[in-house]
Amino acid sequence: MNLFIVESPTKAKSIAKYLGNGWVVRATLGHIKDLPERELGVDIKTLEPKYVWLKGKKKIVDGIKKAAKKAKKIYLGTDPDREGEAIAYFLKEELLKVNTSIYRATFYEITKKAITEAIGGASDINLNLVSAQFSRRVLDRLIGYKLSPFLWRDLKERGLSVGRVQSPTLRLIVERERQIQNFKRKKYYYIKAEFVVDGVEFSAVFKQRFEKPSNAEPFMKKLKDVMFVVKSVSKEMQKEPPPKPFNTVSLQAEASKILGISVDKVQKMAQKLYEEGLITYPRTDSYRMNKEKAQEFMKYIERTYGKDYVGRLRKYKEKALAWGAHECIRPTSLDKKPESVLELKLWSLISSRALASLSSDAIREKFFVVLLALSDHTLEFTAEGSKLVFDGWTRIYPKEVKDRALPHLEEGQVIKPKRIYIEEVEVPPPPRYTEGSLVRTLENLGIGRPSTYATIIKTLKDRGYVVLEKGYLKPTEMAFKVVDYLMEKFPNLMDYGFTKYMEDNLDAVEEGKKDWKEVVRESYRRVLNAKE
DNA sequence: CAGTGAGCGAGCTTCCGCTTGACTT
* SS3 of A26-84: EECCCCCEECCCCCCCECCCCCCECCEECCCHHHHHHHHHHHHHHCCCEEECCCCCHHH
In angstroms, the CA of A116 and the C1' of B10 are apart by 58
Query: Which part of chain A is CATH 1.10.460.10?
Result: 131-182+432-529
- Write the DSSP assignment of A116-176 as a string of letters: HHHHHT-B---HHHHHHHHHHHHHHHHHHHHHHHHHHHHS--TT----TTHHHHHHHHHHH
CATH number of this structure's domain A248-300+307-350? 1.10.290.10
Which residues in range 316-335 of chain A are in contact with strand B, contact meaning CB within 7 A of any of its atoms?
325
What is the distance in angstroms measured between the alpha-carbon CA of A144 and the sugar C1' of B11?
A: 19
A440 CA to B20 C1' in angstroms comes to 26
A39 Cβ contacts chain B strand, under 7 Å: yes
Our answer to whether residue A281 is catalytic in this structure is yes
Q: Where in chain A is the domain with CATH 2.70.20.10?
A: 186-241+362-427
Residue with CA nearest to B22's C1' atom: A56
Using the CA of A38, which nucleotide's C1' is the nearest one? B12
Nearest amino-acid residue to B20, taking CA and C1': A29
Shortest CA–C1' contact from A12: which nucleotide?
Answer: B19
Instruction: Output the pLDDT for position A277.
Output: 86
Cα–Cα distance measured from residue A320 to residue A183, given in angstroms and rounded to the nearest whole number: 37
Distance, CA of A264 to C1' of B10, in Å: 38
Nucleotide nearest to A452 (CA to C1'): B17
Closest nucleotide C1' to the C-alpha of A143? B15
- Residue A149 Cβ < 7 Å to strand B: yes
List phi, psi (to 5°) of A30: 85, -155
Neighbouring-strand partners of residue A203? A194
- In this structure, are strands A200-210 and A419-427 parallel, antiparallel, or unpaired? unpaired
Residue A250 and residue A264: Cα distance in Å, rounded? 13
Residues carrying CATH 1.10.290.10, chain A: 248-300+307-350
Q: What confidence score (pLDDT) does residue A532 get?
A: 47
- Separation between the CA of A151 and the C1’ of B1 (whole angstroms): 40
In this structure, is the CB of residue A154 within 7 Å of any atom belonging to strand B?
no
Alpha helices (runs of H) in A223-277, residue ranges in sequence order: 248-259, 263-275
Nucleotide closest to A157 measured between CA and C1': B13
Which residues of chain A between 161 and 190 are close to nucleic strand B, CB under 7 A? 161-167
> What are the tens digits of pLDDT across the range A43-82?
999 999 999 999 999 999 999 999 999 999 999 999 999 9
In this prediction, residue A323 carries a pLDDT of 58
CA-to-C1' distance for A532 and B1, Å?
Answer: 40
CA of A59 to C1' of B22 (A): 14
User: How far is the C-alpha of A420 from the C-alpha of A220, rounded, in Å?
Assistant: 8
Superfamily name and number for A131-182+432-529: Topoisomerase I, domain 2 (1.10.460.10)
Could you give the CA distance from residue A515 to residue A26 in angstroms, rounded to a whole number?
A: 33
User: Rounded CA gap, A517 and A527, in Å?
Assistant: 15
Listing DSSP states for A472-521 in one string gives: EEEE-HHHHHHHHHHHHH-HHHHSTTHHHHHHHHHHHHHTTSS-HHHHHH
Q: Which strand B bases fall within 7 angstroms of a protein CB?
A: 13-21
Neighbours of A299 (CB within 10 A): 11
Pairing state of beta strands A33-34 and A228-240? unpaired
Among candidate residues A108, A281, A305, A433, the one labeled active-site is A281
Report which secondary-structure segment, H or E, holds A408: none
Residues of chain A with CATH 3.40.50.140: 2-125
Residue nearest to nucleotide B21 (CA to C1'): A29
Report the distance separating Cα A411 and Cα A146, nearest Å.
73
The nucleotide minimizing the C1' distance to residue A146's CA is B14
**Which residues in 404-433 of chain A line strand B, with CB less than 7 A from it?**
none
Contact A30, A87 (CB under 8 A): yes
The closest nt to A32, taking CA to C1', is B18
For strand B, which residues in window 11-30 of chain A come within 7 Å by CB?
11, 29-30
Cα distance between residue A237 and residue A258, in whole Å: 30
Per-residue CB contacts under 7 A with strand B, chain A residues 113-142: 136-137, 140-141
Q: Which residues 227 to 286 of A reach strand B, CB within 7 A? A: 271, 274-275, 281, 283
Sign of the alpha-carbon dihedral angle for A506, A511, A517, A521: negative
Q: Which of residues 438-457 of A touch strand B (CB under 7 A)?
A: 448-452, 455-456
Task: Please check whether residue A501 is in contact with residue A523, taking contact to mean a CB–CB distance below 8 angstroms.
Answer: yes
Looking at the domain covering A2-125, what would its CATH class be? alpha beta
Tell me how far CA of residue A246 lies from CA of A254, A287, A293, in angstroms. Answer: 9, 7, 15
How far the first Cα of chain A sits from its last, in Å, is 58
Q: A173 with A479: CB under 8 angstroms?
A: yes
Residue A42 and residue A144: Cα distance in Å, rounded?
Answer: 12
Residue type, A43: D
pTM for the structure as a whole? 0.90
Q: Report CA(A465)–C1'(B1) in Å, whole number.
A: 51
Buried b (16+ CB within 10 A) or exposed e, A238-252: eebebbbbbbbbbbb
Give pLDDT, residue A313. 94
**d(C-alpha A412, C-alpha A228), whole Å:** 9
pLDDT per residue, tens digit, chain A (532 aa), is 999 999 999 999 999 999 999 999 999 999 999 999 999 999 999 999 999 999 999 999 999 999 999 999 999 999 999 999 999 999 999 999 999 999 999 998 888 888 999 999 999 999 999 999 999 999 999 999 999 999 999 999 999 999 999 999 999 999 999 999 999 999 999 999 999 999 999 999 998 999 999 999 999 999 998 999 999 999 999 999 999 999 999 999 999 999 999 999 999 999 999 988 899 999 999 999 999 999 999 999 999 999 999 999 999 887 655 556 689 999 999 999 998 999 999 999 999 999 999 999 999 999 999 999 988 888 999 999 999 999 999 999 988 778 888 999 999 999 999 999 999 999 999 999 999 999 999 999 999 999 999 999 999 999 999 999 999 999 999 999 999 999 999 999 999 999 999 999 999 999 999 999 999 999 999 999 854 4
Task: Give the homologous superfamily in CATH for domain A186-241+362-427.
Answer: Topoisomerase I, domain 3 (2.70.20.10)
Task: Give Cα A453 to chain centroid, integer Å.
Answer: 8
C-alpha Rg value of chain A to the nearest Å? 29
Nucleotide nearest to A271 (CA to C1'): B20
Q: How many Cα neighbours within 13 Å face the side chain of A311?
A: 24
Task: Give yes or no for CB of A353 within 7 Å of strand B.
Answer: no
- A60 CB closer than 7 A to any strand B atom: no
Mark residues 289-308 of chain A whose C-beta is closer than 7 A to nucleic acid strand B. Answer: none
The CA distance from A189 to A346, in Å, is 43
Per the structure, the residue whose CA is closest to nucleotide B15 at C1' is: A144
Q: Classify residue A182 as exposed, middle or buried by CB count within 10 Å of its CB (0-12, 13-18, 19+).
A: exposed
